[in-house]
Structure 1
Amino acid sequence: MKKQEDLPQQDTEQNENLGSLTDLMSILWHTRRMIIGITVTCIALGLGSTLYLAKYKSEGFLQFGGAIPLPAEKTAKTKDLKEPPAGIQLSDYKRYSAAFGSRGRFDDFVHAAKLDNTPGIAGLRKNITSEKNLNAIVVPIFPFTKLDAKDLMEQPKESSNNVIGLRINYEAQTPEEAQRIVALLGRYTMDTIVYLIYTDSLRFKHLEITAKITKLDNDIIGSKQKLAEYSRRINDLKQIVARYPKTDVQNTSQVVTVTDENSRYLSPVTQLMTAEVEASTAQEVIYQAKREQQQYLLLRDYYDIAKATLDANKSGEAVLRALEASKEHAFKTKDLNDELVKEVYNKVTVDNQNSINLYLEQSRFIAGPSLPENRTTRLSTALMASALLGLFLGCMIALGRQWWLANREQLAD
């Protein structure tokens, strides 16, 4: 229970607080015109800046239509392997995304596409070369996120978490510009991916094919040596059979056995047949190696021309579309009626068509780029924020002015 002598003191403190609040409200009331003026000014500035500096945000979803890079053609040894999962492996995507933010790569693309005078390019260059801004503009999409993993409890077996697409968003001063920049970014990202893929492929194909040609040359030399050995053996066996004509009636299914007591060998006729079969096999190996070597020689001519095209272009799409012209140039002096030449020609044609289909047709926007209808900051939001800011500033200025008037003599002393 409180003492009675404390009650008057509490009443005095309450009266003082009430008096202070009353004085404060009185000051604000007498300076209401100034506060209203400041509030109206802030509202006008806020609405004006919102209208003048308005931003419109466009968004688009770019999908990767298959496994990137394009999987190599399956051989007899790999035909039973499963198809690679769609999308880009994370390690490859990190390499590609590092190139996205390269100012040199962006300038090369802009010059190659003749976009130097396009509105918004300067602002886009500034945003895309900033790692922080680029990560917010171009966001990779994965089949499984952390939330998906929690929902599924366990990721499905034999599945991958490749990057299967990109979410691209951009803010600009007009809806049309925002939409155009998002479309341009989609084209730029795919162009960069294609350019890096073919930079690796075309630059290394020549060395790889040259090494294969040299290896096949060694295989042919080794097979010729074996063929010469088989030919000598056949000649010797023919002479033996001629000296012993009755050996042809001996059991040809006799196997070789060697013991301490005796030795038993295949008949000369059987050995002759075996040597002739082995010689035939060696000849077939030589034929196949020479055929494969000729095909690699044709491919090397094609890749030499394609590499020259790559050196002359900085656009991945331009390089990809020029591959058909490089093929025609490489095979224009070749006899396409020759099955060997026609096989290589068709293989290159199929590879080019598959690449164009994957990189330029299947990899596309499946949603957007959208044409935004509303600003990123609404007028109602800007009005409310400006009004609150103006009211706060007006009150603070009014109270500060009153304090200065009350204490200016002491400040002067």
Structure 2
Amino acid sequence: MHKEVKMIEGDEIDENILPVTDLLTTVWQGRRTLLAITLLAVAAGLAGRMLFSEYKSEGFFQFGGAIPMVKKTTDKEKEKEKEKEASPGIKLADYKRYAAAFKSNERFTDFLAQHKLEQGASTESLRRSFASREGISKWIDPVFPFTKLDAKELLEDPKDGNNNVIGLRISYDDKDPKVAQNIVGLLGRYTMDTIVYIIYTDILRFKHVEMTAKITALENEIIVNNERLAYFRRSGDDLKKIVSRYPEIAGQASRQIVSVNDETARYLPPVTQLMTTEVLASEATEKIHKARREQQQNVLLREYYDKAKILVDNTKSGEDILRGLEPVKVEVFKNKNMEDDTVKEVFNQITIDNQTAISQYLEKSRFIAGPSLPENLSLRLSVTILFSLFAGLILSLAVIFGRKMFSKT
């Protein structure tokens, strides 16, 4: 009985081991095929890596300050409110509008033509990417100061006011590492140029209408104050006649009824009324002077913005608009009396605005990291070898066992 059991157990062990042995035997017999196919797969993987893998350059482009700029006012309370709104970066709603512009193929074509950039294989590849369905979204990513992970860690929800787009993470792949680096720099310059172009075309195209409306409103204000001034002068003349007619009461506490009720009455002396009228007339005169001064300044600004609009109509570059505003200013004020404080104030304000814009848009908005010059291909060598070995092994085993199955049929 014991011997039979041993024989049965031995037979079961042999039946389990036999398939594994056959598999190993088949693999051993096809070892040359396995080695050849695996080596060919590795060689093909390395060749493909050299032919198709690219160098990836990256860069971080920051926005300098609040974009668009918030103009300061003389009113301190309004200025404080503006400063609260002027958090660094671009509001998300504005960024989406700018992104719709700089992701268009037409805008990129205009940028290349405006700056007379070299039309090469790299720029043609870039233009095809603009025209594709995915566009350049894979290369330009907005960067926020406050992410969802930050909100989870700090247990605080990000607010629109302090979670603007503060910069762009830009990357690009190319077979030539220098080309990849240059394209990242080009994309940074192009996106900022587009943003400036959209901002200034919006501002300058409507400034003429805005200045004209202000000039008309100030003209109405002057008319109203002239009417008030005439009224005060007529009242003053009448009061002078009353005082001159009764000289004996000029130094007395004579009274004129102002208001009467059941209990008391209030009186105001004619001389006091005369003084009040003269004060009100002086205030009306000052308002007229102030309105005329502001109107003169708005006329100058309208002339400046009209010429600036011509500049906008003749260029497709935001940078060219910024740098062209100074010559426009010089042309507008070349025949003006610069000794006049009214004219000088407008001239200085335009100068300040232009210098601030160039500083913020063209100097502070820049790459603070990169564009990097990549030294290694985007696909790592170790990953290529391991993947090729695995693919070659699977393919060779399929060939070996497929050949054996075919020989049995």
Fold shared per TM-score above 0.5? yes
TM-score normalized by structure 1? 0.91
Matched, 1:372 2:374: yes
Q: Aligned partners of 1:135, 1:358: CA distance in 2, in Å?
A: 25
State the identity as a percent.
51
Deviation track 1:202-251 (CA, whole Å, cap 9, x = no partner) reads 11111111111111111111111111111111111111111111231133
2:128 maps to amino acid: K
- Match for residue 113 of structure 2? 111
Q: Aligned partners of 2:291, 2:249: CA distance in 1, in Å?
A: 37
- Match for residue 72 of structure 2? 73
**Contact 1:100/1:128 (CA < 8 Å) preserved in 2?**
no
Which is worse superposed, 28-37 or 253-262? 253-262
1:397 to 396, 399, 405: 399
**Contact 2:61/2:367 (CA < 8 Å) preserved in 1?**
yes
**Contact 2:255/2:270 (CA < 8 Å) preserved in 1?**
no
2:193 to 191, 194, 199: 191
The alpha-carbon distance between structure 1 residues 71 and 131, as it changes in their structure 2 partners (threshold 3 A), is: farther
Q: Partner of 2:392: helix, strand, or coil?
A: helix
Q: Aligned partners of 1:158, 1:186: CA distance in 2, in Å?
A: 24
The alpha-carbon distance between structure 1 residues 157 and 61, as it changes in their structure 2 partners (threshold 3 A), is: closer
- Match for residue 346 of structure 2? 344
- Match for residue 259 of structure 2? 257
Q: Partner of 1:372: helix, strand, or coil?
A: coil
The alpha-carbon distance between structure 1 residues 6 and 277, as it changes in their structure 2 partners (threshold 3 A), is: farther
Matched, 1:383 2:382: no
Deviation track 1:77-105 (CA, whole Å, cap 9, x = no partner) reads 52344622111111111111222211111
Deviation track 1:34-88 (CA, whole Å, cap 9, x = no partner) reads 2222222211111111112231111111111211111112222523446221111
- Match for residue 63 of structure 2? 64
- Match for residue 52 of structure 1? 51
Q: Partner of 2:377: helix, strand, or coil?
A: coil
- Match for residue 279 of structure 1? 281
Q: Aligned partners of 2:48, 2:159: CA distance in 1, in Å?
A: 54
Q: Could you tell me how far 1:16 is from its partner in structure 2? A: 3.6
**Contact 2:178/2:373 (CA < 8 Å) preserved in 1?**
yes
Q: Aligned partners of 1:255, 1:166: CA distance in 2, in Å?
A: 74
Q: Aligned partners of 1:326, 1:251: CA distance in 2, in Å?
A: 64
The alpha-carbon distance between structure 1 residues 10 and 299, as it changes in their structure 2 partners (threshold 3 A), is: farther
**Contact 1:101/1:131 (CA < 8 Å) preserved in 2?**
no
- Match for residue 209 of structure 1? 211
**Contact 1:295/1:341 (CA < 8 Å) preserved in 2?**
yes
Q: Aligned partners of 1:252, 1:59: CA distance in 2, in Å?
A: 88
Q: Aligned partners of 1:112, 1:280: CA distance in 2, in Å?
A: 56
1:100 to 99, 102, 111: 102
**Contact 1:58/1:369 (CA < 8 Å) preserved in 2?**
yes
2:381 maps to amino acid: L
Q: Partner of 2:250: helix, strand, or coil?
A: helix
Q: Aligned partners of 2:179, 2:400: CA distance in 1, in Å?
A: 44
- Match for residue 21 of structure 2? 22
Q: Partner of 1:68: helix, strand, or coil?
A: coil
The alpha-carbon distance between structure 1 residues 22 and 157, as it changes in their structure 2 partners (threshold 3 A), is: closer
The alpha-carbon distance between structure 1 residues 6 and 236, as it changes in their structure 2 partners (threshold 3 A), is: farther
Structure 2 stretches lacking a partner, 5+ long: none
Q: Aligned partners of 1:385, 1:283: CA distance in 2, in Å?
A: 88
After TM superposition, list the pairs within 5 Å mapping 1:94-173 onto structure 2: 94-130=96-132, 132=134, 134-154=136-156, 160-173=162-175
The alpha-carbon distance between structure 1 residues 253 and 155, as it changes in their structure 2 partners (threshold 3 A), is: farther
Q: Aligned partners of 1:311, 1:69: CA distance in 2, in Å?
A: 21
The alpha-carbon distance between structure 1 residues 127 and 251, as it changes in their structure 2 partners (threshold 3 A), is: farther
1:340 maps to amino acid: T
Q: Partner of 1:285: helix, strand, or coil?
A: helix
The alpha-carbon distance between structure 1 residues 101 and 11, as it changes in their structure 2 partners (threshold 3 A), is: farther
Q: Aligned partners of 2:6, 2:209: CA distance in 1, in Å?
A: 100
Q: Could you tell me how far 1:379 is from its partner in structure 2? A: 2.2
The alpha-carbon distance between structure 1 residues 406 and 38, as it changes in their structure 2 partners (threshold 3 A), is: same
2:142 maps to amino acid: P
Q: Could you tell me how far 1:192 is from its partner in structure 2? A: 0.9
Q: Aligned partners of 2:75, 2:164: CA distance in 1, in Å?
A: 27
Which is worse superposed, 265-274 or 117-126? 117-126
Which is worse superposed, 149-158 or 65-74? 149-158
**Contact 2:91/2:160 (CA < 8 Å) preserved in 1?**
no
Q: Partner of 2:368: helix, strand, or coil?
A: strand
The alpha-carbon distance between structure 1 residues 157 and 378, as it changes in their structure 2 partners (threshold 3 A), is: closer
Q: Could you tell me how far 1:185 is from its partner in structure 2? A: 0.9
- Match for residue 233 of structure 1? 235
Give the RMSD, CA atoms, in angstroms.
Answer: 2.5
Structure 1 stretches lacking a partner, 5+ long: 408-413
After TM superposition, list the pairs within 5 Å mapping 1:243-254 onto structure 2: 243-251=245-253
Which is worse superposed, 29-38 or 95-104? 29-38
Which is worse superposed, 300-309 or 100-109? 100-109
1:79 maps to amino acid: E
Q: Aligned partners of 1:9, 1:222: CA distance in 2, in Å?
A: 121
The alpha-carbon distance between structure 1 residues 314 and 264, as it changes in their structure 2 partners (threshold 3 A), is: same
Q: Aligned partners of 1:145, 1:264: CA distance in 2, in Å?
A: 68
Q: Partner of 1:97: helix, strand, or coil?
A: helix
Q: Aligned partners of 2:368, 2:189: CA distance in 1, in Å?
A: 13
Which is worse superposed, 21-30 or 305-314? 21-30
The alpha-carbon distance between structure 1 residues 11 and 276, as it changes in their structure 2 partners (threshold 3 A), is: farther
The alpha-carbon distance between structure 1 residues 192 and 403, as it changes in their structure 2 partners (threshold 3 A), is: same
